[in-house]
């Protein structure tokens, strides 16, 4: 698996976990079934991205491959977790911001 896809999966996993722990009281139990389904779905979408190894970060993508309901769920979890990521996972945050700013040019 390409490094950028692995990094994106790690970032999504961290963000969904943060959201679930705070909003669904799953601190030591892993993820609730809804958040686990969202994570599985997100990882499948990352793996099947039409841009392949040139995949941009999802927030900069012109193709919306998430079903509308899943898109709303991932958006909600990212809006919650995004501002907290810099403190909870600074390296993932910096790598994500770098990719978002400098590597998201779709040709």
Indicate if the pLDDT at residue 80 is higher than 70.
Answer: yes
Mean of per-residue pLDDT scores for the chain: 87
State residue 60's pLDDT score: 78
The overall pTM is greater than 0.85: yes
Q: What is the full DSSP assignment across 75-97?
A: HHHHHHHHHHHHHH-HHHHHHHH
1-20 core/surface letters (b: 16 or more CB in 10 A; e: else):
eeebbebbbebbebbbbbbb
93: closest CA among 11, 5, 2, 4? Answer: 11
Instruction: Specify the DSSP class assigned to residue 15.
Output: H
Domain residue spans in the chain? Answer: 3-102
Instruction: Dump pLDDT digits (tens) for 19-33.
Output: 999 999 888 778 999
State residue 98's pLDDT score: 86
Indicate if the pLDDT at residue 107 is higher than 60.
Answer: no
């Amino acid at each position: 698996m390409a490094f950028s896809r692995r990094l994106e999966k790690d970032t999504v996993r961290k963000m969904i976990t943060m959201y679930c722990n705070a909003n669904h009281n799953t601190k030591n139990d892993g993820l609730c079934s809804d958040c686990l389904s969202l994570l599985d779905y997100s990882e499948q979408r990352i793996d099947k991205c039409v841009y392949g190894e040139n995949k941009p970060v999802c927030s900069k993508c012109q193709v919306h491959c998430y079903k509308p309901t899943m898109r709303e769920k991932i958006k909600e979890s990212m809006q919650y977790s995004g501002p907290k990521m810099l403190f909870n996972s600074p390296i993932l945050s910096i790598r994500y911001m770098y990719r978002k700013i400098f590597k998201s040019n779709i040709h």
